[in-house]
Structure 1
Amino acid sequence: MSHDLSFWSLIGEASVFVKLIMLILLGLILVAAGIAGKKWMRFVRIQRKCKQFERQFWSGNDISSFYQALKSQPTEGLESLFVAGFAEFKQFGMNDLKDDGVIITNCRRAMSAAISRELDKQEELLPILATTGSVSPYIGLLGTVYGIMMSFLGLGAVQTVSINDVAPGIAEALIATAMGLLAAIPAVLAYNYFITRSERLNVTYETFTEEFINILQRQILKAKTQSKSA
């Protein structure tokens, strides 16, 4: 007795439970692909905005004017850090210059909070990729074990068994494992890639925070000197 061992034929002849497992895995593949595409576009956009921001910020333009231009529009990445830090700095007046330690501490806290918000947005949905990468092989294995078990139980009632009788059932079951790996491997690779990019952006954020705090300290010292000489 010959069996059609083509891919679609094996899927069509699989048991209802194995088909359900395959459907779940297909859903995980599509969800992971959608998340990966969305996060890739987001990271590309943030990276572009950060480079553009750094060119404008370090071009020597007036910081106050730069702040006024940014605060009225949606910000992202380094823009959010700058707006948060400078908005806090502007809360203090000339009479507060003697408490320069408090000013710097508050500005640093505002920027740290902005960093936390940016990282939270960047890593949003990434746990789904990690979960897909970790559970998909087990879901596929469940379908494979069930399919093989049903195949051998069906062969128990047959007196004469050949490889042609065993091969189709095992092949059907192994498709579930293959789909589990197909869902897991790209999800794990995508998760590691985006986490690495997020960590690199975090280093960029921390570095800019320190550089910006130094600028604010110089502005405070300059203002103190001018107030003493007045």
Structure 2
Amino acid sequence: MAAPTLSFIDLVTHASVIVKFVMILLFAASVYGWYLIAKLELLHSKVTKEDHHFEQVFWSGAELKTLFQKAQVNPKKQGYEAVFYEGFSEFVKLRQKGVSREERLAGTERMLRVSLARQQTPLEQGLPLLASIGSVAPYIGLFGTVWGIMNAFMGLSQVQQATLAAVAPGIAEALIATAIGLFAAIPAVLAFNRYSAKSEAVYQQRVLFAEELTGLLQREAS
């Protein structure tokens, strides 16, 4: 039987069952990683546009009550609008109860913190999985490589003379697993760093907005 060539397809085809399983697992992890990357990119793009639009409306001179009424009828409010709605709603509720100015502002600030955390959760979904792919995929690939090299050297016991031509295909098959592991891990690590930073930046901007809203409510409560 002719020895397998060193083309990529032939190397994958002639790999052992364990190495093939590792390759399939890493390929699936890579595909899922790119799915998470695309999902996070679309989400951050949407969030940025919505926050920028509401910020422009908020500072256009519109009354807080008018903005609250508009947000009240919007079932898909997110970001700045959701933070504003929940904070102002709590402020109005506490004012109707007749609590003191200090308690009213403290309660509003607590609600704003809760709202900020709630709005941050969707931006961080998928980040732990990207981190896991980035950290685990190289080791899974290394496992496939070690297994493949073991099989390659074990196969040498069945030949009378060990040559580079005899062992090279087996080692090449094994190294493909490491290559696929790196192919899955590198984009995942880069994406994790990128979207972690973007998520933190969005959070800080929303915290600043919440503080500005608190300042406006303090003047209204006086």
Q: Secondary structure at the residue paired with 1:59? A: coil
Aligned CA distance change for structure 1 residues 95 and 165 (closer, same or farther; 3 Å): closer
Q: Which amino acid aligns with 1:83?
A: Y
The whole-number CA distance in structure 2 between the counterparts of 1:177 and 1:41 is: 30
- The residue number in structure 1 matching 2:170 is 169
The whole-number CA distance in structure 1 between the counterparts of 2:104 and 2:95 is: 10
- The residue number in structure 1 matching 2:90 is 88
The whole-number CA distance in structure 2 between the counterparts of 1:192 and 1:93 is: 43
The whole-number CA distance in structure 2 between the counterparts of 1:4 and 1:127 is: 40
User: Which residues of 2 match residues 30-45 of structure 1 at below 5 A?
Assistant: 30-45=31-46
Q: Secondary structure at the residue paired with 2:93? A: coil
What displacement does 1:169 show? Answer: 0.4
User: Which residues of 2 match residues 50-89 of structure 1 at below 5 A?
Assistant: 50-73=51-74, 74-89=76-91
The whole-number CA distance in structure 2 between the counterparts of 1:51 and 1:162 is: 66
The whole-number CA distance in structure 2 between the counterparts of 1:3 and 1:164 is: 10
- Matched-pair contact (CA < 8 Å) for 1:78–1:205: yes
- Residues 52-82 of structure 1 deviation map (CA, whole Å, 9 limit, x = unaligned): 0110000001111111111221111111110
The whole-number CA distance in structure 2 between the counterparts of 1:189 and 1:50 is: 25
How many residues are treated as equivalent by the alignment? 220
- Residues 141-195 of structure 1 deviation map (CA, whole Å, 9 limit, x = unaligned): 0000000000000102222111111110000000000000000000011111111
Q: Determine what percentage of the aligned residue pairs are the same residue.
A: 38
Unaligned runs of 5+ in 1: 222-230
The whole-number CA distance in structure 1 between the counterparts of 2:39 and 2:59 is: 30
The whole-number CA distance in structure 1 between the counterparts of 2:95 and 2:206 is: 27
- The residue number in structure 2 matching 1:158 is 159
- Matched-pair contact (CA < 8 Å) for 2:4–2:11: no
- Matched-pair contact (CA < 8 Å) for 1:3–1:164: no
The whole-number CA distance in structure 2 between the counterparts of 1:95 and 1:107 is: 13
- Matched-pair contact (CA < 8 Å) for 1:22–1:140: yes
Q: Which amino acid aligns with 1:8?
A: I
Q: Which amino acid aligns with 2:86?
A: A
Aligned CA distance change for structure 1 residues 151 and 95 (closer, same or farther; 3 Å): closer
Q: Which amino acid aligns with 1:91?
A: K
Q: Secondary structure at the residue paired with 1:92? A: helix
Aligned CA distance change for structure 1 residues 17 and 94 (closer, same or farther; 3 Å): closer
Q: Secondary structure at the residue paired with 2:162? A: coil
The whole-number CA distance in structure 1 between the counterparts of 2:186 and 2:126 is: 17
What displacement does 1:21 show? Answer: 0.3
- The residue number in structure 2 matching 1:196 is 197
The whole-number CA distance in structure 2 between the counterparts of 1:16 and 1:116 is: 46
- Matched-pair contact (CA < 8 Å) for 1:15–1:147: yes
What displacement does 1:92 show? Answer: 3.0
Q: TM-score, normalised by structure 2?
A: 0.96
CA RMSD after TM alignment: 1.3
Q: Which amino acid aligns with 2:138?
A: P
The whole-number CA distance in structure 2 between the counterparts of 1:94 and 1:118 is: 26
